[in-house]
Amino acid sequence: MELIRGHYNIPENQRGCVATIGNFDGVHLGHQAVIRQLLEKSKQLQLPSVAMVFEPQPMEFFSRSTPADMEPRIAPPRISRFREKLRLLEAQNIDKVLCLRFDQNLSQLNGLDFIQHILVDGLNVKHMIVGDDFRFGHKRSGDFELMRSEGQKHGFGITPTDTFLLDGERVSSTRIRAALANADFALAETLLGRPFTISGKICHGQQLGRTLGVPTANIGMAGLRPTLEGVYIVKLQHQGRWLPGVANIGNRPTVAGKHPLLEVHLFDFNETLYGDFVTVQFQQKIRDEEKFDSLPELKAAMESDLVIGRQYFAENAEL
């Protein structure tokens, strides 16, 4: 799969494509249904398939640029970070991902200009796969009908996506976030089509866990709001093996943490993981993140979490 960062980097010899647009947060079953339509049309027209995404996601951009005299807008937490999203899209056999930087200039582009500059002049798109409720451009001025009429003018077709239902309800990123907020990992897995995980490189932390006798492997959240917050029983995948442990994800209020961090303590594990890429799978929630009055209180809570985690794996040896 080829990653193209910005429409200015689209190759000049772009001979056309079949494209779709979206956040694709989580690349869940609904997204996968859209991608199947994309790949079918791509095969039919013998053109490359392109998924267009934005970074940051539009609501993240607008939440950071809210005027001082307006109520702050809060972006929803991410189900999958950018690198994870790319890995998941690649697994769906998409040919190319076009990542557009969502900034002030792009946010001001109206629907007609978006079609002209990005879809026609940039991608030379020959067919679009989008939802019939799809909105785009400045102040969401563009819609499905505008894209269809402009497609007739510029020579590209458009196919509306089918709503993907599960148990009579639409599968959506919002529904998955709600399941994760309730620590319903079984429902999240059903909607995603796979267990919920967070992946990333192990980075250096404050070494506080080691000081307290509970060393952790840390994954930074790149300043993004994580979908989960609290203490969880987890498994960590490293070099093909799954290792049991307990994780805290959040801002670490006891030590005045400023940015979200995923900290994983692995049972009976003494290897160095710095710089390694790992995947953390969440099994069960233990408790919410808390602010303790002292480090001894924090240490006591962590030791209690470890007892609960060990008991869980003792009772679920098959995991």
> What digits encode the pLDDT tens for the residues 154-171?
999 999 998 888 888 999
Domain-terminating residue out of 122, 144, 164: 164
Instruction: Specify the number of domains making up the chain.
Output: 2
CB 25 within 8 A of CB 79: yes
Same domain? For 243 and 121 the reply is no
Residues comprising the chain, all counted? 319
Same domain? For 71 and 214 the reply is no
List pLDDT tens digits, range 225-257: 889 999 999 999 999 899 999 999 988 655 656
Q: Per-residue pLDDT for 209 more than 60?
A: no
Integer-rounded Cα radius of gyration of the chain? 22
Q: What are the two backbone dihedrals, phi and then psi, of residue 22, each rounded to the nearest 5 degrees? A: 175, 170
What are the DSSP E strand ranges found in 161-276? 165-166, 169-170, 197-201, 217-220, 230-238, 241-250, 261-266
- Would residue 185 count as lying in a domain? no
- Would residue 171 count as lying in a domain? no
Structure confidence at residue 5 (pLDDT): 94
Range of the domain at 303: 195-315
- Would residue 267 count as lying in a domain? yes
- Would residue 188 count as lying in a domain? no
- Would residue 174 count as lying in a domain? no
Same domain? For 124 and 27 the reply is yes
Q: What CATH number is attached to the domain comprising 109?
A: 3.40.50.620
Q: What CATH number is attached to the domain comprising 278?
A: 2.40.30.30
Please state the pTM of the whole predicted model.
0.90
